[in-house]
Amino acid sequence: MTTSRKFFILLLIFCIAGSLVAQENWTPLFNGKNLKGWKQLNGTAKYEVKDGTIVGISKFGTPNSFLVTEKKYGDFILELEFKVDETLNSGIQFRSESKPDYKEGKVHGYQYEIDPGDRAWTGGIFDEGRRGWLYPLTKNQAGRLAFKKNDWNKARIEAVGNSIKTFLNGVPCSDLLDDMTPSGFIALQVHQVKDPARSGLTVAWRNIRICTKNIENERLAAATPIYQVNGIDNTISTQEAADGWKLLFDGKTTKGWKGAKSDAFPTNAFAVEEGMLKVLKSEGNSGGIVTEKKYRNFELLVDFRITDGANSGIKYFVNRDEKTGEFATIGCEYQVLDDKLHPDALKGVKGNRTLGSLYDLIAAPQDKPYRSSTFNHARIVVNDNKVEHWLNDVKMVEYERNTQMWQALVNYSKFTDLPNFGNAAEGNILLQDHSDEVWFKNIKIKELK
């Protein structure tokens, strides 16, 4: 036997052995014959086994249905193939739970979205029954294009510690850091339908397998890293730091902030509690707090929770050092408001004092993705004169300063008598005290060139 032939045989043996070892790390979750190891929760949509696949069939008049693994999983890699009717939304639950003391057993937890519609957020991460969207695909066009309509698609979920990554047909879709739920069951969702004519739509799954051994050896590395969402409160991840993000609130102290009307921090109006910055309900009004530093071009992220009937705001281009009294708190404002219960929502012009609006100047849409009784995610982007307001990853407002149109808006607002309103090259960022209880956390900023 020649040396080259010996080498080829040894190489073949090595590859086969390596493949067998890799396969030993994986366990099938579906035997292709019946639903052994699974149970159904919540809704009554039908699940059946057909030709080696699990088929879910939509049913009018029932809530979301879930076929749930009897076993719970913490760290794992999950792979499966799915095929969905192009008009039926679905999802794959993981690290999920159903508890009698939580919404009467409603399934809740992380979900790998299956979205065959025009939005195309398949592979995004939705928090079913809790916080809503954690990682939409608004910034990942490659992920949005990876879905194949009317065909089989391959989903992959890597949940290791606080890191959750998803893939669709080999394309990276989500990169999330989150620590709310470390383990739970896996489930296949049949989404509710609200029209009797939509009964009978199907979603199918096959080749469902999970890896819980030697996970690090099985993880995929994206050729080009995608943007990361950090859901761990008041922290900056390694990737965020590399991208230039910095915390404006550390979750423990008021470092970096001062009073809007005084250099002293207004402890009678603001407090740090449980990793959050709380605006205290009071009879007085401190005006708010401002950053010690001024900012020119930036992307600002703020998570906020409004109590019933509360009013607040996130202001920018505030000239704290140049103005005094009430004028020290004047700036462009991302309105934070309970639209349903606070009377200010009905004032102004055509809703320009509602949540997400540029206060008293440009109205946010009436139909907005607001989450009551929990935290919402505000994003403000300033790039020279162009500005955007976002609420829970949906754009609310965009405008351009230092233009004739801008001046016309200002002239028709309560700011008409303020010279050069909103046109400053830089300014402080302000969190408003309107004497109502409001909570802030995860305040981060990235300065743009």
pLDDT category of residue 165 using cuts at 50, 70 and 90:
very high
**What is the CATH number that goes with domain 238-447?**
2.60.120.560
Find the mean pLDDT for residues 332-361.
96
Phi-psi category of residue 120: left, alpha or beta, with phi > 0 → left and psi -120 to 50 → alpha: left
**Could you check whether 25-230 and 238-447 share the same CATH topology?**
yes
Helix (H, G, I), strand (E, B) or coil at 16: helix
- How confident is the model at residue 299, as a pLDDT? 98
Sketch the domain layout of the chain as residue ranges: 25-230, 238-447
pTM of the model: 0.86
> Which CATH number is correct for 25-230, 2.60.120.560, 1.10.10.10, 2.60.120.10, 1.20.1070.10?
2.60.120.560
Handedness of CA 432, 359, 374, 73 (dihedral sign): negative
Please state, rounded to an integer, the average pLDDT across all residues of the chain.
92
User: pLDDT at residue 288 above 50?
Assistant: yes
271-280 pLDDT, tens digit per residue, is 999 999 999 9
Residues 6+ apart with CB under 8 A from 306: 312, 336, 337, 338, 376, 438
Helix (H, G, I), strand (E, B) or coil at 302: strand
Structure tokens at 339: 């639209």
- Token pair 């080498």 is found at 7
Find the mean pLDDT for residues 119-133.
95
Amino acid, res. 379:
R
Helix (H, G, I), strand (E, B) or coil at 437: coil
Structure tokens at 300: 């600002």
Least confident among 14-18, 169-173, 204-208, 241-245: 14-18
- Reference 35, options 9, 11, 55, 19; nearest CA is 55
177-228 pLDDT, tens digit per residue, is 999 999 999 999 999 999 999 999 999 999 999 999 999 999 987 777 899 9
| Rounded Cα–Cα distance for residues 34 and 54 (Å) | 8
| Rounded Cα–Cα distance for residues 41 and 47 (Å) | 11
Find the mean pLDDT for residues 62-89.
97
| Rounded Cα–Cα distance for residues 387 and 333 (Å) | 11
Query: Is residue 436 within 8 Å of 272, Cβ to Cβ?
Result: no
User: pLDDT at residue 421 above 60?
Assistant: yes
9-54 pLDDT, tens digit per residue, is 444 444 443 444 457 899 999 999 999 999 999 999 999 999 999 9
Find the mean pLDDT for residues 350-354.
95
3-state secondary structure 123-167: CCEEEECCCEEEECCCCCHHHHCCCCCCCCEEEEEEEECCEEEEE
3-state secondary structure 374-436: CCEEEEEEEECCEEEEEECCEEEEEEECCCHHHHHHHHCCCCCCCCCCCCCCCEEEEECCCCC
- How confident is the model at residue 19, as a pLDDT? 43
Residues 6+ apart with CB under 8 A from 234: 247, 249, 250, 251, 275, 441, 442
User: pLDDT at residue 252 above 90?
Assistant: yes
